[in-house]
Amino acid sequence: MATATIAEVAFKPRILVFSTHNISDPGIDLAGSRHLHYPATATTIAVPCSSGIRPSWILRALHNGIDGVFIASDGEECAYLPDCASRTAKLADAAQALMREQGIDPQRLRMAAVCSVCAEPFVKYMREFSAQLVEIGPVTA
């Protein structure tokens, strides 16, 4: 049991963040520009629009051993698609359905709108999600 406890303490969940070039990625940049710290195990890949993320990419990351996937979506601000938020929500639902089928806790996928100046909210999301993933434990799928 003692070993497990040490493992838990040492466990730094790996998070893949999907950001968007025009909205959330500048927000994440701003967090760095302001030297706000969040776990270094959170890594961002930017795409043009959050509604273009394939659920298979999310599943692939989780199968690879990424402990959680966070979609930093455009929300209502998306310059491309007026229904971006609902589109992104739908593909997140689709990904969670696949996760359930494959025995992966759907809480390992989170989504929130991150605006181009949302540095503090982003950092808060990362810290919270990381803490939540510590509770859930390492992905084993």
Partner 1 sequence: MTGPVDVQIGKPPEEGDGQRRIGVFICHCGGNISDYVDVAAVRDALKDEPGVVVAETTMFACSDGTQHDMIDQIREQGLDGLVVASCSPKLHQITFRGVSKRADLNPYAYTQVNIREQDSWAHGDDPDGATQKAINLVRAGIGRTRNSEPLVPLVVETTPATMVVGAGIAGMRAAIGLADTGLQVYLVEREPEVGGWAGRFGAMFPNDRSGREQIAALTEQVSRRSSITVLTGAQLVGKSGSFGNYEAVVEVAGDPPETIRATVGSIIIATGFDSYEPENGEFGYGIDGVLTLPEFKELVDAAGGGTLVHLGRPVRSIAYVYCVGSRQPGGNEYCSKFCCAATAHASILVSALDPQIRQFHLNRGVRTYGKYELMYTQARENGAVYMTYPDDTPPSVEQGRDGRLAVTTTDTLTGGREVTIPADLVVLVTGMVPRANTGLTDLLKLPVGDDGFYNEIHPKLRPVETVVDGVMVAGSCQGPKTATESVASGMAAVAQSAAILKKGVAELDPLVATVHVDDCTGCGECLTTCPYDAISTRDAGGRTVAEVSAAVCKGCGGCVPLCPTAALDLLGYTDAQMTAMIDSLVEVPVS
Kindly list the residues in this chain that would bind partner 1 in the complex (CB under 8 A).
Answer: 12, 14, 16, 21, 25-26, 28-33, 35-41, 43-49, 51-57, 60-61, 63-66, 79-82, 84, 87, 91, 94
Q: How far is the CB of 111 from partner 1 (least distance, A)?
A: 14
Residue whose tokens read 């799928």 = 141
Q: HSE-up of 46 (CA within 13 Å, CB side)?
A: 12
Spatial distance between the Cα atoms of 60 and 73, rounded to a whole number of angstroms: 19
C-alpha 98, offset from chain centre: 17
The tokens of 52 are what?
A: 């273009």
Residue placing its CB nearer to partner 1 in the complex, 7 or 64: 64
Write down the least CB distance from residue 67 to partner 1, Å.
10
Q: Please state the closest distance from residue 47 (CB atom) to partner 1, in A.
A: 6
Q: Which is nearer to partner 1, 8 or 83 (CB)?
A: 83
**Nearest residue (CB) to partner 1, 94 versus 112:** 94
Comparison of 107 and 116: residue with beta carbon closer to partner 1? 116
Least spacing, CB of residue 8 vs partner 1, in Å: 18
Residue spans of alpha helices (H) in 11-137: 24-33, 55-64, 84-101, 119-136
Helix ranges (DSSP H) in 13-83: 24-33, 55-64
